[in-house]
Amino acid sequence: MRTHLRIVAGSLKGRRLTVTVAPHLRPTPDLVREALFSILGAAVPGRPFVDLFAGTGAVGMEALSRGARPLTLVEWDVQVAAAIIRHLQSFGVADQAIVQRADVYRWIARWDAPSEPVTIFLGPPFPDFERRTEALLQGLARLQQKLAPGSVLVLQSERSWNPDGLPDAEHWEHRQYGRNRLSLWTKEI
């Protein structure tokens, strides 16, 4: 099934991504992306942004549209990563983004975080919350350790998933949008 996602605001506002939605691909709805960037506000322009489990790349491209620099998108699926690259090229912003094809959990283990604050969005496939729970929680804990003060982590999950087991659970803020939950954690300065 093909669908269209729209960049909500910024320099790419109104541009559309045409994506084929495979069973494992779960695009972040426009409303959720709009809410996410409203919450993030100043944690986007001029800061590195990392879109893990990038899928359509819509979240990362929304960040780029709103002034994030540089943008890194990490996606395992070859065809999905190629589609992200095609969209970046057609929007004329391919030089402002890096697409890395990798298993996100392994990428996290190898990643060297910048010394400046970074914003990271994780939109894991919903089955990972049950099938790869340990890997997901370990990955989040690793990111929390590596990030510079002032950095922000955002996890998109289904509303039905219980976030109580998140590392440093008491410092996450949760917002719900339909079946989606955004959980945000900021590294204290």
Give the separation between CA 187 and CA 148, rounded to whole angstroms: 7
Is 39's pLDDT higher than 70? Answer: yes
The total number of structural domains in the chain stands at 1
Structural domain range at position 61: 2-186
For residue range 40-92, what is the model confidence (pLDDT) as tens digits? 998 999 999 999 999 989 999 999 999 999 999 999 999 989 999 999 999 99
For residue range 97-120, what is the model confidence (pLDDT) as tens digits? 999 999 999 999 999 999 999 999
Q: Can you give the pLDDT at residue 24? A: 59
Q: Can you give the pLDDT at residue 11? A: 77
The CATH number given to whatever domain includes residue 45 is 3.40.50.150
State the Cα angle at 141 between 140 and 144, rounded to 5°: 85
**Over residues 142-157, mean pLDDT:** 97
- In sequence order, what are the beta bridge partners of 52? 74, 122
Give the separation between CA 118 and CA 55, rounded to whole angstroms: 20
Residue 17 φ/ψ, nearest 5 degrees: -105, 125
